[in-house]
Structure 1
Amino acid sequence: MKLLVIPICYLGDLVRLADWCKSLITSFSSIVRFYEIKQNIAIDELIIKSKENISFSDAWEESKYGFLGPRIRFGSRYSVTNFFDSKGFLIGEHLILALERYVKPYTIVLGITSYPSVAFYQQNKFVYGLGDELLGQVCFVSTGYKEFKEIDSKEYFENLFSHAVHELGHALHLSHHNPYPDSRGEYCPMATFSEAFVQKKGWNTADAFKKRRANFCSKCQFKLDNPDVAFNAILQQRKINGVRDELNFVTMSPSP
């Protein structure tokens, strides 16, 4: 399987991004073997046109997987006409829909943008990224927050790494789970921390995500090695909890 990284209005260092991808692949070595980085593109290049307006050209060839059989992601079909809400923030679900045009068999798509992003399913809360854990293969990370500003390059890419591993986990059908520390006091990339948990630990809320390590716990790794198990677990979780029950997770609510 290949990882396709797509910078979207991304202000970070693209040269460092290539080295960063090598480290990212290490965390998914049992699944992802290769990576490719697209050229930095603008938001309006992702505007999705109707099927009838697409000519049979290279653009059609590249996007046919998205348009020949439009799928529903986050409850929405292909109807993206605007990527921004009334306050000018990037709508996460719309970006996911747009990125699906790059989805091909045996490929995971990771978008990286410098725009702050909000998610409808989180009641328009700011998010560090989104990953479609039900259909899989697509996710993105946003660096438009204070955690990525006025820091050195090493810390910048460490922060980006932490959020990317988490969202890629979703794109591989992994769900959030309760935090269980290992012997070094570190947590699985898919662990999420409630406000009460963070306060009890005495952590800085903004830095809670840094407590997650680079590799997955044994339960998540088992699901990565057995994708049908992960997919069925998601269906069961949604059947029990409804659409979502994660509105209080602090690591999903950054400040711009």
Structure 2
Amino acid sequence: MPTHDARPSNPPSGRIHDKVAVVTGAASGMGRATAERFAIEGARLVLADLDREKLEAVVKDIQAVGAEVVGVPGDVSSEADVRFLMGEAVRHFGGIDILIANAGVIPEADLASATVDLWDHTMAVDGRGMFLSCKYAAAEMVKTGKGAIVCLSSISAFAGQKGQAVYGPAKFVASGLTKHLAIDLADKGVRVNAVAPGTIDTPAVAKLGKEGIEKVISMHPLGRMGKPEEVASAILFLASDEASFITGAVLPVDGGYLAQ
């Protein structure tokens, strides 16, 4: 099973110190790792997840290291929930500097086994949820003329894969939304980028079992799965001012998968 170690490989840089960051899907996996890394870097955090119990546990862990953090349970596919989430960020911290649009589901289904309900649910969370998160966070960023959005895409948005007839197309939405919003928001001072992780050691991937995990590891030239903290480091870079001249980029964090 995956383990979380919030300690970065390099010491805190302060790149996002005092920035207000909203992270969706923050209760586990890459969302949790990003929240922990951002806390170390001095961000003020608003964390969202559908799983209230796990979210509360993450909030407590981050509060224990002295970071300012608020947890807001909710469903990113619900417009009312997303509007409330962004409103809570403004109410608690006065605005939004960074959005990490991470919340999503990862169904395994080929075309024959995929149902319309599975398609609709996946697109509602991974597609509409990302759209709504970007829409309402960007509305606050535009008020100050600055902000950074990082969306979670996937290698599945670039390479055809068996058993990804639903999830893969949903991640095409993530990459496409990133590029189009980057152009739409560029003159408003808001940057929009994405990361495209390969197979990362998360609870969702653990469900594949030993045989499934060994198979996906063999597809990555570096010969292993990535760690959530490694994705968090890439997200941190794109969210920080060090990436101030980068927008519309989709950065692979994939152990060489897409280089083949």
Query: Which TM bucket (shorter chain)?
Result: 0.3 to 0.5
- Of Structure 1 and Structure 2, the greater helix share is in 2
Q: TM-score, normalised by structure 1?
A: 0.35
